[in-house]
Every structure is written in structure tokens, then in C-alpha cells.
Amino acid sequence: MSDPFDEKDRVAPVLRTVADAAGPYLESLPTRPVHDRGRDALIGELEGPLPDKGEGAQAAVERLLRVGAQAATHSSGPRFFHFVVGGATPAAMAGDWITSLLDQVSGLWLASPLATRLETTVLEWLKDLFGLPASFGGVVTPSATLAHVTGLAAARSWWAEGHGVDVSAEGLAGLPVMPVFSSGLVHASTRKALQILGCGRDTLRVFARDDAGAVDLAAMERALAAVDGRAVVVANLGDVNTGGSDPIEALADLAERHGAWLHVDGAFGMFAAVSPRTAHLARGVERANSVTVDGHKWLNVPYDTGFSFVRDRARLRQAFGAWGAAYLEQPSTGDGRIDYNTYGPESSRRARALPIWATLCAYGRDGYRAMVERHLDVAARLGELVERAPDMELLAPVQLCVVCFRYRPPGVPEERLNELNARLGEALLADGRVYAGTTSYRGMTAFRPAMVNWRTTEADVELLVEVIRELAARLGTA
Ligand SMILES: *Cc1c(COP(=O)(O)O)cnc(C)c1O
């Protein structure tokens, strides 16, 4: 085998190899552990020097598939609870394959009207699903972190303009530090975005009135007044430790009163808007200036996908357009001819809208509501099991899709609980039947499984409780 051109007639059989393996692999996910034994040695089969003489597509793909199907972390299965991780719905996965098949250049309308118009369509659909105003601009990003970069770059552009500076053209030099305020629920990715944007991750000021991170509105209001409202307020809708949220409406009132920019991190919490049972948590997001949402979490599209929604879409073009100070919309954008590479940090980019279109078309508003409500039920069920258990302690009310608790058998003194839970967390990750490690919450080492995978059912969290007990008995509490 030498030139790939020699293989031009073999594409279909190679793809069929993958398609044939997909069914059995996906069907194994509900019952197999999150990781298989011996994966380190297996991965070794793919390492070594660059081959001089290629093996050909069929052989290479077969090896990658055989090793990959065993050595991968099966995190798209129903019991990967350690981080907020979705699976890929059947339609989303197929849509993702189609993305690779069509291999579109999706940054420029001229290069792919299909990818561009589908991006516009899915952003419209998602605004509708989330109850965001249809007038908001938006862009598909690779992640929530990059959506923060997008929304906060728009905020930075607004803020610098208030100081008489076009930050896209002139940079930050000579400007004061941009004030960014949040509660103790703020996610590390917000700091990372500030770090990337040259604003400095440590400049973020947290206003919390307790060790759980609840926002101190009065203190934040004083700080806003001190900077004449020229600040960014970051509101958190769904935090990773407990699933708790800031009072979005109160923060929207505050931002509005002072003329500040409101940025909402709804990476997974934005899906609260999808069910009437939790929609109250998201109320006020429609008043934000920028909103971050993740796609590879509760939307259950494959990695990697996120969304940035920005009230003033011209801000996106100002922050990311290659032509500097073009603040006003180009007339050509009125007819759908958007160049999405001027709306976000990426230039060349994958047509991520295709799997999103496929999954939203396949399941619709009702399907997503049903899935979200099943997850609410699953989380509530786990919360109930924990509350009833004499050897477990619920550490925060269950509000969404995260349950924060620790193992606390009678007779073990408080000062030994962190170490016990840390050891238990390690044992659980090594065991692999149910994947949930620990976090630190209010000084306590705690579990905080998150349930957002479309495959997850109540049986999966019942198993979590069983396995924790079994492993704890094996570790002993003495
Ligand atoms: C996961 C998460 C993020 C970061 O998302 P990435 O897609 O990993 O960049 C930000 N905020 C919250 C609340 C999250 O849960």
C-alpha cells in the first residue's frame, strides 16, 4: 500500500466495518462496566514508531476498532456519573457520521450554505427550546468553555467601548482590569475563559454569603455601584457540585439596575427551562446579554459541541470579525448569508450543526422534555435512597440532575469521613461498574453524580448505592 489514491474503491467496505461494529458496541453499553480490565496494555498495540509502509485502510481501521472498543472509557454508557457527561442519541450519532461524510467547511456561507443554514436553524430551535428571545445572535462552539470565551469576548468588547477603546483593534493595554463578579457557584471554565481573553483568571471577584457559595447580592450591588455598572455579572444556572443555581432573576435585576453585562453559565442548567417542573430556575436568563450552553452534556450530542447566545449579535462580529471595527451588521447577513467564522473564535470549523439538527428533528421538544424529566426523576430517586439510608448523608437538596452526598456510616467520627469517602471514591472509579468520584463541598469530601445521559434509568442509580455499600464493606470503616 502506498498512495491513498490506490484505495479509492475501498471506502465503502471500510466504513461498513465500522457500521457493523457499531451495533454490538452500542448494545453492550447498558450492561458493561465503564472501563475494561487491561486497557493500558491494549492501548500499547496502537503505539510505536510511524510505519514507513502503510498497512492499508482495512487493516488500520480494524485494529483501531478492536482496540478502541475495549480500551475506550465507555463514558457514553448510562453509568458515567463522575462529570456532567451525556451520551450521543441515535440520531445525533448518525448525524455526526454524516458530518464526517460530507466534510463541510462550515465557517463560510460561500463554502457551505448547507452547514450555515443548518447552524442558523439549530440556533433558532435551541433559543425556542430554552425560552431565549429569537432576536439573540448565536454561534455553535466546541464547548462551554469556548462559549464562555465567545460571550465574554462580546462583553469585553462592550466594556472596552465604554472606556473609548476598540479592544479588537487596540487590545487591552492601557485599560483598567475588567470587573467580573460572580457567586461561589462559578465554574472553573469561566476563569479559564478570562485567562484566555487576557483579562486574568484571578480578577474574578466572588460575592458569597456562605460556604456553599450562595450569592451575596448586597455586596455585589455595592461593588457594581463602585464601578458605575461597567462590569460583567456571571450568573450560574446549574453548578457541578450540587446542581444548585444562582437566583437568576435577582441577578438580572441587579445587572439591569446598574447597566452591567449579564453572562449566564447554563452549561447543563439551561435545560431546566425544558420542563415546567424546573423552568422557574431558569427564569431571567432571557434578560441576559450572553448565555453559555453545552451540547455534549444534556443535549446528548457527541463531543464536542457548545453554544454561545448573545443578545446583541453585532457584538459577536465586532469581537470575532477579521475586519476590526465593523460594528454594524453587513447588509448581506440579512438573507442568511452568515459567515459563522466571524461569530466565534474558530475559523475553520466542523459542521457541528448536523448532529444537533438530527437529534432535535428526531425527538423534538416533547422528546427532550421527556428525557429531562426522566433525569429529574432519576436524580430524585437517588436523593430519596440516600436520605433513607442510615449510612449515607444528602448534603444539598436535589434540584436538577446532580445529587451531592457522602457515605456516613454510624459510629465513624466526622474527622475520618473525608478520608473514608476519598478512599471509597477511588475504589468506585477502579471498580468501574458505576463511575462516580468525589469532590470537595463545604470542606466535605462528597460524591456528586450527575445524570444527563439519555440511556440512564433509575436502575443505574440504584446500582450506584449498592456498589458503594459493597465497596465500603470491603474497605472496612475501622
Ligand atoms: C461542563 C461545564 C462547563 C465547561 O464545559 P466544557 O464543555 O467542558 O468546556 C462550564 N460550566 C459548567 C456549569 C459546566 O458544567
> Do 21 and 62 form a contact (C-beta atoms < 8 A)?
no
In this prediction, residue 477 carries a pLDDT of: 61
CATH topology of domain 364-475: Aspartate Aminotransferase, domain 1 (3.90.1150)
187 lines ligand 1 (CB under 6 A): yes
Mean pLDDT of 284-311: 98
Mean pLDDT of 431-459: 97
In this prediction, residue 8 carries a pLDDT of: 86
In this prediction, residue 9 carries a pLDDT of: 86
402 lines ligand 1 (CB under 6 A): no
Nearest ligand 1 atom to alpha carbon 147 = 9
Mean pLDDT of 473-478: 79
Radius of gyration of the chain (CA): 24
How is the chain split among helix, strand and coil, in percent rounded to 5?
Answer: 50, 10, 40
Mean pLDDT of 446-469: 98
Judge whether residue 231 has pLDDT over 90: yes
> Do 451 and 461 form a contact (C-beta atoms < 8 A)?
yes
Contact residues for 322 (Cβ-Cβ < 8 A; gap 6+): 342
356 lines ligand 1 (CB under 6 A): no
- Cross-strand bridge partners of residue 159: none
Mean pLDDT of 461-472: 97
Judge whether residue 392 has pLDDT over 80: yes
E strands, 218-341, in order? 232-236, 261-265, 290-294, 306-310
Helices assigned H by DSSP within 214-343: 217-226, 248-258, 279-282, 313-320
In this prediction, residue 331 carries a pLDDT of: 46
pLDDT in tens, 7-28: 888 899 999 999 999 999 999 9
**How many whole angstroms from 449 Cα to the centroid of ligand 1?**
15
189 lines ligand 1 (CB under 6 A): yes
Average pLDDT across the chain, whole number: 95
Helices assigned H by DSSP within 72-143: 90-102, 113-130
Contact residues for 132 (Cβ-Cβ < 8 A; gap 6+): 126, 285, 286, 291, 309
Which residue type, as a one-letter code, is found at position 202? D
Q: Would you list the domain boundaries of the chain? A: 9-70, 95-361, 364-475
For residue 309, report the phi and psi dihedrals to the nearest 5 degrees: -110, 130
**How many whole angstroms from 144 Cα to the centroid of ligand 1?**
5
Cβ-in-10-Å burial (0-12, 13-18, 19+) of 306 comes to buried
Ligand 1 pocket: which of 294, 303, 451 to mutate (most atoms <8 Å of CB)?
294
**How many whole angstroms from 188 Cα to the centroid of ligand 1?**
8
* Element (DSSP H or E) covering residue 371: helix 353-388
Buried b / exposed e along 310-324 (16+ C-beta atoms within 10 A):
bbbbbbbbbbbbeee
Task: Give the percent of the chain with pLDDT over 90.
Answer: 93
Ligand 1 pocket: which of 82, 152, 236, 240 to mutate (most atoms <8 Å of CB)?
240
C-alpha cell at position 310: 448573545
In this prediction, residue 329 carries a pLDDT of: 44
* Element (DSSP H or E) covering residue 181: strand 180-182
C-alpha cell at position 17: 466495518
> Do 213 and 396 form a contact (C-beta atoms < 8 A)?
no
In this prediction, residue 325 carries a pLDDT of: 39
In this prediction, residue 476 carries a pLDDT of: 83
Contact residues for 26 (Cβ-Cβ < 8 A; gap 6+): none
Alpha-carbon distance 135 to 312, whole Å? 8
CA distances from 73 to 38, 355, 474 (A): 12, 22, 25
Class of domain 95-361: alpha beta
In this prediction, residue 333 carries a pLDDT of: 52
CA distances from 53 to 16, 323, 349 (A): 24, 46, 31
Q: Half-sphere exposure of residue 159, counting CA atoms within 13 Å on the CB side? A: 27
Stated pTM of the model: 0.96
179 lines ligand 1 (CB under 6 A): no
Mean pLDDT of 85-93: 97
89 lines ligand 1 (CB under 6 A): no
Alpha-carbon distance 124 to 126, whole Å? 6
C-alpha cell at position 384: 430519596
Mean pLDDT of 106-120: 95
C-alpha cell at position 336: 442568511
Mean pLDDT of 144-149: 98
Which residue matches cell numbers 455553535? 140
Nearest protein Cα to ligand 1, atom 6:
144
Buried b / exposed e along 74-95 (16+ C-beta atoms within 10 A):
bbbbbbbbbebbbbbbebbbbb
Domains 95-361 and 364-475 equal at CATH topology level: no
> Do 118 and 124 form a contact (C-beta atoms < 8 A)?
no
Task: Give the percent of the chain with pLDDT over 70.
Answer: 96
Nearest ligand 1 atom to alpha carbon 236 = 13
pLDDT in tens, 404-425: 999 999 999 999 999 999 999 9
259: left (phi > 0), else alpha (psi -120 to 50), else beta?
Answer: left
Alpha-carbon distance 418 to 208, whole Å? 24
271 lines ligand 1 (CB under 6 A): no
Angle at which helices 113-130 and 353-388 cross, to 10°: 30
**pLDDT band (50, 70, 90) for residue 327:** very low
**How many whole angstroms from 403 Cα to the centroid of ligand 1?**
17
240 lines ligand 1 (CB under 6 A): yes
In this prediction, residue 334 carries a pLDDT of: 57
Nearest ligand 1 atom to alpha carbon 146 = 9
143 lines ligand 1 (CB under 6 A): yes
Alpha-carbon distance 231 to 361, whole Å? 39
